[in-house]
Chain A
C-alpha cells in the first residue's frame, strides 16, 4: 500500500466525507467544536504544527504572572479521541495538492480530503534587520516561545521589546514580571498607533514610563551586533545605541498563508488568504478561518471575529446559512495596569466625524468620542487610564443608540450630568459577549425558559467564558432582566434564610436565640450552608461570646475558626500569636524562635507587626499553642472575622516628635477589643503624631495623637479597594475616644452586611458620615448606653480561645489528623527554600515520589 492508501485506510472514513483541518490554534479548535455537534458526519482529521493541542493564546502572558501553562489548554488529545477526531500534533503540513486532494506533512504523512479548512493563524513579523537572528533574540506567540524567553531572562538584567503595539506592551509587561529592566523600542512616533490616537498615546506613554519602563519612540533599528557591556547592542538610525541581554520582537504579525500561496489559492496584496462571506477561498473545497484569512481586504487579529468565522465555515459545510460580514474590532485591555479602550472608528476617519476630548494629565486620563456629523451617533471612542465607560460607549456605537444632546456629558468628569446607559436601554440585538456572540436577546431567551442563575446562563450561552471582558455587563443585564420579570434579586442571605444579615441579627437578639438549630426552626428552613452558618456563628459570638468550639457552634464555623488557625494551600495551618501594638520582649521573641525551630515552621514578619509561623500540621496545633501559652502568649485571632492588629508607632516615650504615648493607647485598644467577632475583620492603628508612621488613616479605626489628645479616623481600608479613613472627631481624651469606638463598632456589628468591611458599610450607610456622627456622638437613636453595655459584655467575657481549647480534652480531640490513626498526611510535603520550609509544588511532589 502507498502512504496515502495507508493513511486513508487508517482513518477509517467508511464513506463519510473527509474533512482535514490544518492548524490547531484557538480558531481551528473552535471550528472543530462547531463541527462535532453538526448533522453532517464528517470524518475529521486535525493537523497542528505545535506539539500540543490548542490553548488559550490570549492569556499567554498570565504564565509570567504565575499561571501554569497547562491551565491554558482549550482541549486535550483524549477529548479529540473520544469525539472520534483523528489529531496529529507537532508535524506541520508543508503542501497541498489540490488536484489529488491531499495534504502532506513535514514528516511525510499524507492525508486525503474532500473539504479542507486552513486555520494556520499568523506568525510574528521580525523586521529584516541584520543581526535580528542573533542568540538572545526572540518572538512571542507560543508556549514554546514563552519557555525560551523565560530561560533567557533568568540570566539577564535588561530586556528590550521591539514594537510598541498591544502585543509589544504585553511582552514588556512579561519582561517586567520576570524582573528585567525593560525598554520598549517603537518605530512610530507613538505607542499603540493602531488603536489609539496620538494624544491618547502620549498619556499612555507617561503612565507606562511612571512604572519604570523606558520608552523609545521614533527609533529605527538598523543593526544588532555584539555589545561591549551586555551581549547585544542595537544601533538606531539616529546614531544612538542601546545594549541589552535579550530582545523580543513584537512588531506585528503576518498571516500564515504560505500553504495557500504555494497552492495558487488567491492571496491578498499584502498577504492573507482571500475568503468570501462563507469563508470559502478561491478553491470552493477549501476554507480559511481566523488570523490567516483576509475578508473585505481586512485581517481580523482578534479571537472574537475568528470564532465567528469558525461558526460560519461550519455552517457552510453542514448546510446552514450563516455568513460573515466583518466584525467589530473594539478592544478593551489593561496593559501594565493601565486601562486602554478603543472603539470603532477611533481615528475619526469617517467623513464629517467630529471629536470630543477630555484630558486629565495629572490623573493620566484621556477620553475621546468620535461622533457622526449630525451629532446623533457614536462612531468611535478612545479611552486611556479609565475604562469604566467602555461597555456603555461600545453599546452606543454598536447599536446606533441616539446620543444625548450634549455628547460631552458622557465623558465629562463627574459633576456634569451622568448619562450611564442602563441595561434597559439596550436593544434585544445588542451584543453582550462578543467572544461568543451572545446578544441581550439570547440572554432573555434563557431567562424566559427558566434559567435564572448567572452561572447557568453562562454555561448555557457561553457568555463571558472567552476573554471575560463582558462579565460585569452580563451581570447587570441578568440582574435587570430578572428584576423586570419579578424574580426577586433579593438581599436574602441564602436559600435557607429569607433575611439580610442585619434582619437576622435583630431576630437573634430580640428573640434571645442562642443556637443555629433554634434559629433555623424559628426563622429558616433546611440544613443551612456555608453562607448562613458562619454568619449566624458570628452573630452569636458578637452577642453571647461563647467559645467557638462549644458543641452547638462547632459545625457552623469556617475551617479557620474551627481549628483556630488559617488553612494554607496544602492543608497545613499558620500560627499567629497576638503581639499587641507590635511590642514584644526579647524573651518572648526567643520563645517564638524556639517553638518555630522545634516544630520546623516557616517564620515571617507579617504586614501587621507580628510574627506568623507557617506549616503546622493539624495535630501539632494544640502542642504548639500549649508551649506558646505557657510562655505568656495568647491567640491572635488571625483566623476569625474579628480584631486583627493594632499597629502602632513608637510614640512619645522615644520619638522626639511624639505628642502622646501611642504604644500605651494601642495596647489599651488591642486588649479591649481582642476577641470581638464582627461581620468582617477589624484593623486599628495608633500614631504618635501627624507624621503617621502607623498608617492609621488606612485602618477601620485610626487614632492620631495631637498636643491636646487624640484625633479619631474611621472606616479606612487597605486591601483590594483602599479607602482613606474619614476624620470623625478631634482632640478627644482617652475615655471619650474609647467610648466612641465602643459605640461605633457595636453599631457596625449590628447593621453591616456579611463580609462587609467598615469602609463599604459607611459608603452604604444612608446619611453617611454625618449620620454616623449623630448616632455615636450625639446619641440621636438613644442607643449609646445599650451599645456600650453590649461591648462591655464582650470585653468582660474575653478568654483566650486557644487556652480553653488546649485545656479541654473534648475540644482537643478535634485536632486529630485521623480519628483512627496517628499517621501523618502523606500529601503534605515540604521542600527547603532560603533556609526554611515551604510546601512542595505539584511537580516537586511528583519528583520526590518517583525518587522515593
Chain B
C-alpha cells in the first residue's frame, strides 16, 4: 500500500479529532491519535446515512475495542479501521491507507468498502 499523495502537514491535524482533506477531488476525513499506533486514520468524509460530507467533524471514540467516529448528523458509528457502520451492517465507508513521514501526512488509494467488495 503505497501512500503517494501528500494530503497535508501534521500541524494541520487536530489531536484526538478530525480534519478533512481534498485528495484528487475526493473528500478524506483524517483523524489524528498521537498516542496510538498507527497515529493516523483516514476514511471517506461522506456519511452515507446522513448523505453529507461531515464525518471529519464527528467525535472519535472506542466501542468494544473498536476505534470509531460518531457521525455528527445522526450519531451512527463508523470504524476507523474497517469503515464498517456499527449500527447497520449494510453500510460502510471506504478506508484510505495513510501514514505520517517527515512531518507530512500521506494517503494512498482508497480500499473498496466492505459492502462493495461483498457485492
Contact = CB atoms under 8 A, between A and B. Distances in A.
B57 interface: yes
B59 A823 contact: no
A571 B61 contact: no
Nearest to A813: B12
Given A530-B75, A570-B52, A571-B52, A555 B14 contact: yes
B8 A567 contact: no
Contact of A558 (B21, B53, B54, B59): B59
A817 interface: yes
Residue of A496, A529, A819 with most chain B CB atoms under a 10 A cut-off: A819
Contacts, number: 96
B62 A551 contact: no
B15 interface: yes
A567 B59 contact: no
B95 interface: no
Interface string A771-786: 0000000000000000
Nearest to B72: A559
Interface residues of B, number: 37
Given A527-B67, A820-B12, A827-B53, A555 B59 contact: yes
Contact of A495 (B12, B14, B20, B63): B63
A825 B67 CA distance: 26
A820 B17 contact: no
B50 interface: yes
Given A554-B14, A819-B20, A825-B27, A562 B61 contact: no
Given A571-B52, A820-B21, A559 B57 contact: yes
Interface string A535-569: 00000000000000001001111111011000101
B115 interface: no
Interface string A806-834: 00000001101111110101011000000
Contact of A533 (B7, B19, B21, B59): B59
Nearest to B65: A526
Contacts of A569: 50, 52, 73
Contact of B53 (A496, A527, A571, A813): A571
B58 interface: yes
Interface of A is mostly: loop
Contact of A827 (B14, B17, B52, B61): B52
A534 interface: yes
B92 interface: no
**Interface residue range, chain A:** 35 or more
Given A495-B64, A533-B61, A567 B12 contact: no
Given A495-B64, A571-B52, A842-B51, A559 B14 contact: no
Nearest to A528: B61
A556 B52 contact: no
A528 B67 CA distance: 10
Contacts of B17: 554-555, 562
B51 to A, nearest CB: 7
A559 B47 CA distance: 14
A204 B110 CA distance: 58
B57 A528 contact: no
A557 to B, nearest CB: 7
B64 A819 contact: no
Given A819-B8, A820-B7, A827-B52, A551 B58 contact: no
B46 interface: yes
A529 B14 contact: no
Interface string B6-50: 011000111111011110000100100100000000000010001
B85 interface: no
Contacts of B93: none
Contacts of B98: none
A570 B7 CA distance: 24
B61 A567 contact: no
Contacts of B46: 827
B72 A558 contact: yes
Interface in A446-496: 455, 495-496
Contact of B54 (A529, A567, A819): A567
A818 B21 contact: yes
Given A530-B70, A571-B53, A820-B12, A559 B64 contact: no
A227 to B, nearest CB: 45
Contacts of B54: 559, 567, 571
Contacts of A814: 14
Nearest to A560: B72
A554 B15 CA distance: 9
Nearest to A455: B87
Nearest to B70: A530
A838 to B, nearest CB: 14
A680 to B, nearest CB: 16
A827 B54 CA distance: 10
A530 B58 contact: yes
Given A527-B61, A556-B59, A817 B20 contact: yes
Nearest to B19: A819
B73 A567 contact: yes
B57 A529 contact: no
Contacts of A558: 59, 72
A548 to B, nearest CB: 13
A817 to B, nearest CB: 7
A559 B27 contact: no
A814 B13 CA distance: 9
A560 B77 CA distance: 17
Contacts of B53: 571, 825, 827-828
Contacts of B8: 819-820
A530 B21 contact: no
Nearest to A570: B52
Contacts of B60: 527, 555
Nearest to B60: A555
A496 B17 CA distance: 18
A820 B21 CA distance: 6
Contacts of B70: 529-530
Nearest to A821: B22
Given A554-B14, A842-B51, A529 B62 contact: yes
Given A534-B59, A567-B54, A569-B50, A555 B16 contact: yes
A818 B26 CA distance: 11
B61 A818 contact: no
Nearest to B23: A820
Contacts of B77: 530
Interface in A552-605: 554-560, 562-563, 567, 569-571
Contact of A528 (B21, B62, B64): B62
Contacts of B16: 554-555
A554 B72 CA distance: 15
Given A530-B58, A555-B14, A567 B72 contact: yes
A36 to B, nearest CB: 17
Contacts of B62: 496, 526-529
A534 to B, nearest CB: 7
Contacts of B58: 530, 559
A827 B46 CA distance: 9
A818 B29 CA distance: 9
Contacts of B50: 569, 571
Residue of B12, B51, B52, B73 with most chain A CB atoms under a 10 A cut-off: B52
Nearest to A572: B52
10 contacts: A496-B62, A529-B61, A533-B61, A555-B60, A557-B59, A814-B14, A818-B27, A819-B20, A819-B21, A828-B52
Given A530-B58, A530-B59, A820-B21, 19 more contacts: A495-B63, A495-B64, A530-B75, A533-B59, A533-B61, A555-B15, A555-B16, A555-B17, A567-B72, A571-B53, A817-B20, A818-B21, A818-B27, A819-B7, A820-B8, A821-B21, A827-B46, A827-B53, A828-B52
Interface of A: 455, 495-496, 526-530, 533-534, 551, 554-560, 562-563, 567, 569-571, 813-814, 816-821, 823, 825, 827-828, 842
